[in-house]
Structures are given as structure tokens and as C-alpha cells.
Amino acid sequence: MNRIKKKLKQSEDILSIYFTVGFPCLNDTVQIIKKLDASKVDMIELGLPFSDPLADGQTIQNSSKIALANGMSTQLLFEQLIDIRNHTDIPLIIMGYFNPIFQYGIDLFCKKCKEVGIDGLIIPDLPPEIYISDYKFFFQQNNLINIFLITPQTSEDRIRYIDSISDGFIYMVSSSSITGGENNFNKKNIDYFKRIKNLKLKTPKIIGFGISNRETFLTVNKYANGSIIGSAFIKHIQKNGISSIRSFVKGITS
Amino acid sequence: MSYNINSKGYYGSFGGAYIPEMLLHNIEELNDNYLKIINDQSFLKEFNELLKDYVGRPSPLYFSKNLSRKYSAKIYLKREDLNHTGSHKINNTIGQILLAKRLKKSRIIAETGAGQHGVATATVCALMGLKCIVYMGATDIKRQSPNVARMKMLGAEVISVTSGSSTLKDATNEAMRDWINNPIDTHYIVGSVVGPHPFPDMVARFQSVISKEIKEQLMQVEGRDYPDYLVACVGGGSNAAGTFYDYLDDKRVKIICVEASGKGINSGKSAATTKLGKLGIIHGSKTLLMQTDDGQITEPYSISAGLDYPGIGPMHANLFTSNRGQFISIDDDGAMAAGLMLSQTEGIIPAIETAHAFAIFENKKFKPKDVVVVNLSGRGDKDLENYTDYFKI
């Protein structure tokens, strides 16, 4: 069974951590994965850096820029992950913009993902319709789950459609914003979380964007199967180094 | 086969809408409504009246005796430089502001490179009383300061963008992020035939007034409604799209697109997308773009801020790969020399973007009977300091 599905069956209040690969240092990727795993994080999203990250705020723009300047590339990520499955069984997802994956070749990219033990992909600028018509085959062939996003503006019809084509989980964007917002959730956000919860979708939901601390983590867990933290984690390791990963995770989960 | 857009939002295999879900609401709203709105009689009436009385259309099609003699061809200049605000950009912003009003938007955002689109957007926002925010690269703010002052005078807020190379690509990223953050009340007036469908088609339709007028004007002076050649500079490609629009499928008309090669195609400082680019996704569109083997978008360079873009619109990518259009690249020096030449031969100082189009006459030979229409897309007031510094005048 795909590790994402297995994890979602076994656990509640999932904590998924996103970080940009190649940041802060080029070869930190494996160390960060091991430390997150040891800190009892449930899932990891490996952010493939892109020169023009349209949906990202300052923090992830900056970490992507540094990672690229460090020399990070798609090929290097696969090399870094070559024996990662000897060390951990944690679900691993690659999140990246479409162009670098398109240049690598979707077919080859998916094969490489399977080879190193990636479980799923999140490609924000590859719309579900184009995925279904052009690329689904390659994902299925390599046992990769493609994760789709919904936002507060997504219509109920479209949510139902996305639910019907989803496997693993639905990435629920918390508010109408790019990544890295740090406000507490207001009534509007909560109403949206409730509305989606009441749709009783077949696919589990994990909420991301704007979750930065224990308080916001606990809030979203009331309405979904878990949450994704990205910018707050990147800020933390930028300031405190990767040796302090355990204390960051503890601050969220206990 | 048509060279215009198909029902799925593609020109050949280029175009589409590769957008994150966060932008889908905005794009769908546009896509569901734009054709209905812009073909509506009340819209057309208001649009055409503003183009006539506010912009000053039709713009003249001027037979350039001096250039015609110099290069032995019949050279006509489509005088978009005489439009209100000084370039073709206003045709599109008038159209989009009327559309935005009908979609009940109260806040307008735009990206700008040379500042021509920013000024044209600030202008229509002032006219219609809508809030206007323009994203502009910090590099461009420095080299196009007269346009920054104009935008501020018109009441727009100009936000300096310092990410990437601090030019047009980065300003576009920032405008898209703003739109993600403001999905309800905001319309994004994209300035060129780039971005996700339906922007390339919508902008091309608003600019198509240029080719419609060329048809009528040529009929009067030449007794036929088509030229042998159409020439336009291409950054994103909006003035070119407007110039070619009604002639896309008319094979009697040869199409010439002029790109900026900056300091030379292989210098590492260039914006000649068809020479250096390959297929990829930029700003939501599948098109030709300059990128590394790893799919990172590379920083373009041109002395002209308006051509300093690492991609081209999907219409032009299709014109290039199908060989419908000939693409010629002109470097900084060639463009500057052509700008000076036009100034002193015809008494018209062109924008540096536009000057690229006039540089082709040095090498491209025409027959004396060839009717060549060049889109004089913008005037050079904004570039005076660049010209005078360059020529040490």
C-alpha cells in the first residue's frame, strides 16, 4: 500500500512538514528528513526549488533562491535520495512547479520517484484536467499519488469533482493567499473549514498555508485530518539551524 | 488550419491555462464572461467611443517618403505612438477596464516593464475612478523614471519589485501573487498577449483594432486592403498581435517579428526567445521561454525594458514554429542606431522597443513595389535619457 494512504489510515492529526531541498545547505536534504522522522513528524514534503514560484510568499521565494544558488537541481535531488528508503519509512511527497518537472520529462520524473521511494506529488500549476488527460498514466504506473488543491473559492461542484479523482488526501488551502501568512484564523476561515467538513468527502483533507504554531495546528485539526507547515519551519531552520528541528516539532505537537 | 486561437485556448500546441487552483476562480470568471461582454453592443459602443475621442483613433497610417527612398520599398508607419499615453498599450487597457467594471471589480492591478502599460492602466483607472496598483521591477523603475512619475501623477500606487532580476518577469510574478491574495474584488489587467488563457486572446482582440484600421487605410491609399509585409517588435507580443490579427490567415501577407537580442544572442545578455528558448510553462502559459536545462527560467536582458521578457506569447510561439512568421533579432546597438535614424530621417523619436523594428531595414531587403507596414508602437519620450546617455548628445 502507498505510504501516504497507510499513514492516513493509521493516524489522526497528521503533521506534514514542507521544506525546500538544497536549503540552507545543498546537501542537508537527507539530514533534515532523518531529523523530522526522529521527531515523529508524520509526512514530509520536499519542495523542489523554482526560479518563479508564483504561489509562494517571501520565505519560500527566498529559500528557493538560496537553494538554486547552492546548485540544487532535480537530478541532484534524486541522487541525494538514492538510499533514503534504507533509513526511513515516512511518506515522502515532492512538491514542485510544473516547468522543472516538464523539462526533466514527466515519464522519467515519475520513474525516478518510484526508484527512490517517493509516494506522491503536489504540482500546484498542473490543473487536474490537464493531469487527467495527459499525465495520469505515468503517475499510476509508478504508484504515485497526485495531490490536488482546493481553496475557499473552489465551488462545491469542483470540490466534488476533485474528491472523485483524488487519492491520498486533498490539500486544503486555508485562505485566499500565497504561502507564509502568519495570522490566526478568523471566523471566515473557520466557516470555510466547517463548510468543507460538512461535505463529508471520501478523501481525507490536510490543511496548509498560514499554519505557523501550535495554536493554528490545533485549530485546523478540529476540521481536517492534519496540517502542513512550510514557511514557519523554513524560517526556524534558517534562524536556528537544522540541529534545532526537534524543538520546533515539539513546539507544535506537545 | 487557422493561426488564431482554438476553442480550447491554444494556438497550435501553445497556450492553455497552467494555473494553480488559487487563481482558478479569477480565470474561470474571466473565461466564462469575456466573449459575452466584449461582443455586447453596449460594450462595443463605449469601447469604440473611447478609442475615438479619448485615445484619438484611428491612428494615422503614414507613408514615410524618406524611409521609402532610403530603403527602396513602400514603407508605411502605423502611428500608435500618437495614441493618448504614447503607445498601443491604451487600446488594451480601455478594453479591460470596461470589462472589469462589468465584472464589478473595484481594484485594478497591473505589471509593467517599460512603464507604458503601467501608464495606460493608471490612466484608465483615473478615468473610471478605480484603485490602481502597478508592479514594476526596481531595475525598470530606475531606467524608466518619467513613466513612474506619470503613474504617480495619475494616482496609481507603484510597487517596486526586487525579486529575481527586478524586471518585467518578476513584476508579473508579483502581480499574480497579489491576484491570489485578492480573488474577489480585483481585476488583473495583463499588458501583453501572455499569461493563462483567456488573456492572450482577450488582449489580442483589444489590440486587433490596429489591423482593422490598417485594412481600411491601405484600401484608400493602395487600392488593396493588405500589405506585402507587416513588421512589429515582440517582447510579450501585444503590438505585434494587434498588427497581425486580421491577417493571420492571409498568406499574401508576410509577417516579421523583431526580437531583442540585447548584447548579442550568445552573450548571455539577451531576450531573443525564439533563438534561445524552448517549450515550457511561464506565467500560466505553455510557450517558448528561455530557461536552463533544469527548467529554471533565466534572466533576460535588453536595453529596452519592454522587450526584457524571457518568453513570448503563445500566438507568436505558434507563428514561429509553423514558419508563418519570420523572426529577426536586433541587438541593443542596432536598435539605438535605428532610433536615431528614425528621429533624424522622419522627425519621429520612437520608443527603444519600437526602434528594434526599424533596425531590420539595414539587412532585410525589400522590392521597390513591396508595401511594408511597420507598427510604430510607441514614442520615445520616456527613453530620452537612455538615448542621450548612449549617444552622448
Residues of A in contact with B281 (CB under 8 A): 97-99, 102, 125
- Provide the pLDDT confidence category of residue B221 given band limits of 50, 70 and 90: very high
Over residues B253-263, the mean pLDDT reads 98
> In this complex, do B282 and A99 lie within 8 Å of one another by their Cβ atoms?
yes
Per-residue pLDDT tens over the stretch B102-161: 999 999 999 999 899 999 999 999 999 999 999 999 999 998 899 999 999 999 999 999
Nearest by CB to B181, which of A75, A150, A178?
Answer: A178
- Provide the pLDDT confidence category of residue B348 given band limits of 50, 70 and 90: very high
Which residues in chain B belong to E strands, given as ranges?
A: 10-11, 14-15, 61-63, 74-78, 107-112, 131-137, 157-161, 186-188, 229-233, 254-262, 278-282, 285-289, 325-331, 371-375
- The answer to whether B211 and B247 have CB atoms below 8 angstroms apart is yes
Q: What whole-number percentage of chain A has pLDDT above 90?
A: 95
- Provide the pLDDT confidence category of residue B19 given band limits of 50, 70 and 90: very high
Q: Is cis: bond before A49, omega within 30 of 0? A: no
> In this complex, do A99 and B17 lie within 8 Å of one another by their Cβ atoms?
no
Residue B36 has pLDDT above 80, yes or no: yes
- The answer to whether A145 and A2 have CB atoms below 8 angstroms apart is yes
Q: In what order do the strands lie in the sheet with B107-112?
A: B157-161, B131-137, B107-112, B186-188
ipTM for the predicted complex: 0.95
Whether B389 and chain A come into contact, CB under 8 Å, resolves to no
- Provide the pLDDT confidence category of residue A179 given band limits of 50, 70 and 90: confident
Distance CA B392, CA B82 (A): 27
B39 exposure class (CB count in 10 Å sphere: 0-12, 13-18, 19+)? exposed
Nearest by CB to A151, which of B22, B177, B294?
Answer: B22
Q: Which pLDDT does position A77 carry in this prediction?
A: 98
Residues of B in contact with A147 (CB under 8 A): none
Distance CA B88, CA B257 (A): 16
Nearest by CB to A176, which of B181, B280, B282?
Answer: B181
Which residues in A32-109 belong to E strands, given as ranges?
A: 43-47, 92-95
Distance CA B168, CA B138 (A): 10
Residue B305 has pLDDT above 90, yes or no: no
C-alpha cell at B224: 488593396
Least Cα separation, residue B353 to chain A (angstroms): 25
Nearest by CB to B280, which of A75, A99, A154?
Answer: A99
Residue A124 has pLDDT above 80, yes or no: yes
Residue A180 has pLDDT above 90, yes or no: no
The CB density around residue B268, as the number of other CB atoms within 10 Å, is 12
- In single-letter form, the type of residue at position A151 comes to T
CB within 8 A of B257, min separation 6: which ones? B232, B233, B234, B237, B240, B274, B316, B319, B320, B325, B326, B327, B328
- The answer to whether A133 and A140 have CB atoms below 8 angstroms apart is no
**Please, which residues 167-196 of chain B have a Cβ atom closer than 8 Å to chain A?**
169, 173, 176-177, 180-184
Q: What whole-number percentage of chain B has pLDDT above 70?
A: 100
Distance CA A191, CA A186 (A): 9
Nearest by CB to A125, which of B281, B294, B298?
Answer: B281
Please give the span between the terminal C-alpha atoms of chain B, in angstroms, as a whole number: 51
Least Cα separation, residue A9 to chain B (angstroms): 26
Residues of A in contact with B164 (CB under 8 A): 51-52
**Please, which residues 12-41 of chain A have a Cβ atom closer than 8 Å to chain B?**
none
Sign of the CA dihedral with A154 first, then A159, A161, and A167 last: positive
Which uninterrupted H or E stretch holds B148? helix B145-153
Residues of A in contact with B16 (CB under 8 A): 130
CB within 8 A of B229, min separation 6: which ones? B253, B254, B255, B256, B366, B370, B371, B372, B373
C-alpha cell at B269: 545578455
Least Cα separation, residue B176 to chain A (angstroms): 7
> In this complex, do B291 and A99 lie within 8 Å of one another by their Cβ atoms?
yes
> In this complex, do A54 and B177 lie within 8 Å of one another by their Cβ atoms?
yes
> In this complex, do A52 and B169 lie within 8 Å of one another by their Cβ atoms?
yes
Provide Rg for chain A, Cα atoms: 17
Q: Which pLDDT does position B84 carry in this prediction?
A: 98
Q: Which pLDDT does position B165 carry in this prediction?
A: 78
Per-residue pLDDT tens over the stretch B40-69: 999 999 999 999 999 999 999 999 999 999
Q: What is the residue-averaged pLDDT of chain A?
A: 96
Distance CA B347, CA B119 (A): 24
Pick among B180, B182, B185 to test the A interface (most A CBs inside 10 A): B180
- The answer to whether A180 and A60 have CB atoms below 8 angstroms apart is yes
Nearest by CB to B21, which of A75, A102, A151?
Answer: A151
CB within 8 A of A182, min separation 6: which ones? A210, A212, A231, A232
| Alpha-carbon torsion, ordered B382, B373, B112, B201, to 10 deg | 160
Distances, alpha carbon B360 to alpha carbons B29, B328, B356, in Å: 41, 7, 7
Residues of B in contact with A106 (CB under 8 A): none
Smallest CA-to-CA distance from B143 within B331, B7, B301 is with B301
Whether A69 and chain B come into contact, CB under 8 Å, resolves to no
Q: What whole-number percentage of chain A has pLDDT above 70?
A: 100
Shortest CA distance from B299: residue in chain A: A51
A115 is catalytic: no
| Alpha-carbon torsion, ordered B111, B114, B115, B120, to 10 deg | -90
Whether B8 and chain A come into contact, CB under 8 Å, resolves to no
Whether A150 and chain B come into contact, CB under 8 Å, resolves to yes
Q: Determine how β-strand A14-20 pairs with β-strand A145-146.
A: unpaired
Q: What is the residue-averaged pLDDT of chain B?
A: 97
Active site amino acids of B: 89, 111, 377
> In this complex, do B163 and A102 lie within 8 Å of one another by their Cβ atoms?
no
Distance CA B87, CA B350 (A): 10
Over residues B229-234, the mean pLDDT reads 98
What are B75's strand-pairing partners?
A: B372
> In this complex, do A54 and B173 lie within 8 Å of one another by their Cβ atoms?
yes
CA–chain centroid gap for A95, Å, is 6
Per-residue pLDDT tens over the stretch A182-225: 678 999 999 999 999 999 999 999 999 999 999 999 999 999 99
**Please, which residues 169-198 of chain A have a Cβ atom closer than 8 Å to chain B?**
173, 176-178
Q: In what order do the strands lie in the sheet with B229-233?
A: B61-63, B74-78, B371-375, B229-233, B254-262, B325-331
C-alpha cell at A218: 490545533
pTM beyond 0.80: the answer is yes
With vertex at residue B52, the alpha carbon angle to CA B50 and CA B55, rounded to the nearest 5 degrees, is 70
> In this complex, do B295 and A103 lie within 8 Å of one another by their Cβ atoms?
yes
Whether A75 and chain B come into contact, CB under 8 Å, resolves to yes
- Provide the pLDDT confidence category of residue A119 given band limits of 50, 70 and 90: very high
> In this complex, do A154 and B294 lie within 8 Å of one another by their Cβ atoms?
no
Residue A254 has pLDDT above 90, yes or no: no
Pick among A21, A48, A50, A52 to test the B interface (most B CBs inside 10 A): A52
Least Cα separation, residue B210 to chain A (angstroms): 33
Catalytic residue among A28, A45, A119, A167: A45
> In this complex, do A54 and B20 lie within 8 Å of one another by their Cβ atoms?
yes
